[in-house]
Structure 1
Amino acid sequence: MSANITSIKSHRDFLSGPALRTRKRVFDLGEHCYSGVPGLCWSTNYWIKRIGKGESWELYGTLEEAPRRREYAGIFSPTELRQYFDEVGFYMDD
Structure 2
Amino acid sequence: MKKFVSAILVVVPSVIAILLFVRSLDPALEIDNLKEQIGLQRSELRFLSKMANMGFASCHLTVPDFEKFAKENEHAFLWEGDNGLVGGFKVQRKGACIVSVTVPDWL
Q: Mark yes or no: TM-score above 0.5.
A: no
Larger Rg: 2
* TM-score range normalised by the length of the shorter chain: under 0.3
Structure holding more strand per residue: 1
TM-score after normalising by structure 1: 0.26
Greater relative contact order structure (CA < 8 Å, 6+ sep): 2
Structure holding more helix per residue: 2
